[in-house]
Amino acid sequence: MGSTSAANHGGGGVGRRDLIKRSAALGLLTLPTAGFLSACASSGGDSQDKAKAGKKTAQNPLAVNDTAQMEFVLFDGGFGKEYAEDAVKIYEQNFPKAEVKFSATQKIQSTLQPRFNQGTPPDLIDNSGAEQMDMGVLVGKNQLADLTPLLDAPSYDDPDKKVRDTLRPGIVEMGQFDGDPVWIFYYAYTVYGVWYSQKALNALDEQYPETWDQMLAVCAKAKKKGIAGWTYAGKYPYYIPFSLYPMIGKVGGRDVLDAIDNLEPNAWKHPAVKACFEAYYELYKKGYILKGTPGLDHIQSQTAWAQGKALFLPNGSWVENESANVIPEDFDLAVSAPTGLDSSDRMPFGTIWASGAEPFVVPAKAKNPAGGMEQLRIMLSEASSKSFTAKVKSLSAYNGGTTGIILTPGLKSGQAALEKAGDNVVNPRIQDWYVKLQKEQIGVAGLGEMMAGRMTPAEAITKIQGFADEAAKDTSIKHYKHQ
């Protein structure tokens, strides 16, 4: 179960797809239960007993009431809870008179949904995991507080620098839905791409391929040695986009990805999309996909890949932690930005998908929202970020914080990939804007079928475009656009 940010992000949601939660989900199921939940809906009263603002000082720029209780609910997943407990201790030191109620759970939704319905949510929530509450709905129903005061507050380490200026690219934008308010703060930073063992590539006497012809050549070479080129989470094919989307961006430019996110008509019919789909389909046609892959779940595919049965795996940076127990010591884990088609691609090699993960929110109806934000400000200090990276093998939203600690191979490689990418970081939003479209429709019913060879790229594109058009027309979901 050691997964990390897999699930924070709509796309990797299976990371914590574990037994306990699923069986627990059973209990939430039946019609009567739905009735019980709904019972809470009508009983919801507004509680207006908010904590009074405290005194605004240099040490307390958010004017936290130093006697008010602060409640923090953390998702207890692959990142564990130690990093948050450490940050809570600092809060308690800074506000010795305030009581902090900290709890960690895997069942975010079952614990907190009734409290939202009653209007008594906690002050800070790590809304993550398999039981993540739908962000679009929370935002649409005005349940979240705008985090702009936090972003404009001086940073914890340097009073001359705003928190906003200490963050990695894309973090602030990801928290926006439409317009300026920032509803969500993504604390972890995930690098998506093609994961491989440098050792395995060395054994083939190859480098990571930069063009698709080279990719096919490497796969052909591997096949001769009885190694498959690729494998992926066949049961959750929405892992394929982790390398496919940035490839589409690289081939056709950012506009293509933006058009897809905006659900524009014919966005999927763009030649770049077609070319990339055909490139991936060729992997199947030529037999470069590990046999049986469509029946493997994410753990099984990662295990097969770690055992050296396949070279490349589309995944996110949590894979290092999640598969730590099967990745051999001398594996030399590395990540690369996706291979492009050829030199006519619109963006250079190195274009990579990286984005925030592990979403923290402060509810609009929280009693002590300033306290929740102050807690986040503490977590965004260099020291807290460093301890997070060291403990959970993941980068944080804080830009930096990696000097002086020993990075694991995957983390180091991710850091290098980010440096190589520079400004060429893409961030497709479709997976947090339209979860169902991304996972169930594009992922399972589209890409999954194509990669299993049951659909041609042209058919897959038509089908996916149909799903996207349907989503664009669906009035029951909220629609978003790139600014």
Partner 1 sequence: MQHGKYRFIVGFLAMPLGLYALFVVWPFIQSIYYSFTDWTGLSPDFKMVGLDNYTRMFDDKIFWKSLQHSLLFAVLLPLVTISLALFFSFMINVGGRRRRGGPVVSGVRGSSFYKIVYFFPQVLSIAIVALLFAFAYNPDSGAINSLLRGIGLDSVQPLWLGDPNLALWCVMAVLVWSTVGFFVVLFSAGMASIPADLYEAALLDGASRVTTFFRITLPLLWDTVQSGWVYMGILALGAESFAVVQIMTTGPGGPDYSTTVMVLYVYQKAFRDGQAAYATTIGVALLVVTLAFAAIVMRLGRRERLEY
For partner 1, the closer of residues 109 and 355 by Cβ is 109
8 A C-beta contact, residue 434 and residue 241: no
Q: Quote the least distance from Cβ 303 to partner 1, whole Å.
A: 8
402 touches 168 (CB < 8 A): no
- Contact between 131 and partner 1 (CB under 8 A)? yes
Q: Give residue for tokens 């207890």.
A: 76
Quote the least distance from Cβ 197 to partner 1, whole Å: 18
The packing angle between helices 369-379 and 82-94, to 10°, is 120
Specify the residue, 185 or 467, whose C-beta has the smaller distance to partner 1. 467
Cα-Cα-Cα-Cα torsion 435, 145, 317, 382, nearest 10 degrees, comes to 170
Q: Note whether 23 binds partner 1 by CB under 8 A.
A: yes
Measured from the CB atom, is 246 or 359 closer to partner 1?
359
Which residues, 6+ apart, have CB-to-CB distance to 435 below 8 Å? Answer: 10, 13, 134
Cα separation, 396 vs 380, whole angstroms: 8
In angstroms and rounded to an integer, the radius of gyration of the C-alpha atoms of the chain is 22
For the chain, the farthest-separated pair of C-alpha atoms sits apart, in whole angstroms, at: 70
By CB under 8 A, residue 479 contacts partner 1: no
Distance between CA atoms of residues 260 and 280, nearest Å: 18
Interface with partner 1, residue 48, by CB under 8 A: no
Among 275, 439, 457, 471, binds partner 1 (CB under 8 A): 439
Distance, in Å, from the CA atom of 345 to the CA atom of 51, rounded to the nearest integer, reads 55
Residue 77 Cβ vs partner 1, minimum distance, rounded to whole Å: 17
Task: Considering the complex, state which of residue 115 and residue 270 has its C-beta at the smaller distance from partner 1.
Answer: 115
The answer to whether residue 47 forms part of the interface with partner 1 (CB under 8 A) is no
For residues 373-412, which are near partner 1 according to CB under 8 A?
A: none
User: Could you count the other beta carbons within 10 Å of the beta carbon of residue 90?
Assistant: 16
Contact 466, 472 (CB under 8 A): no
Closer to partner 1 by CB, 97 or 225: give it. Answer: 225
| Distance from C-alpha of 366 to C-alpha of 184, rounded to nearest angstrom | 15
The one among 51, 68, 125, 138 contacting partner 1 by CB under 8 A: 138
CA distance 425 to 418: 8
Nearer to partner 1, 72 or 236 (CB): 236
Q: Choose the binding region for partner 1 from 90-98, 137-145, 368-376, 394-402 (rule: CB under 8 A).
A: 137-145
Among 63, 104, 133, 326, binds partner 1 (CB under 8 A): 133
To partner 1, the closest distance from the beta carbon of 401 in angstroms equals 33
Shortest Cβ 1–partner 1 spacing (Å): 12
User: Least Å distance between CB 299 and partner 1?
Assistant: 10
Residue (44 or 348) nearer to partner 1, CB: 44
* Residue 36 within binding range of partner 1, rule CB under 8 A: yes
Q: Is 235 in the site for partner 1 (CB under 8 A)?
A: yes
User: In the complex, what is the shortest distance from the CB of residue 37 to partner 1, in angstroms, rounded to a whole number?
Assistant: 7
38 binds partner 1 (CB under 8 A): yes
Q: How many residues bind partner 1 (CB under 8 A)?
A: 66
Binders in 205-234 for partner 1, by CB under 8 A: 234
178 is an interface residue for partner 1 by CB under 8 A: no
What are the residues binding partner 1 (CB under 8 A)? 19, 22-23, 25-26, 28-44, 109, 113, 116-119, 131, 133-134, 136-138, 140-143, 234-237, 290-297, 300, 304, 309, 435-436, 439-440, 443-445, 448-449, 452, 454, 476-477
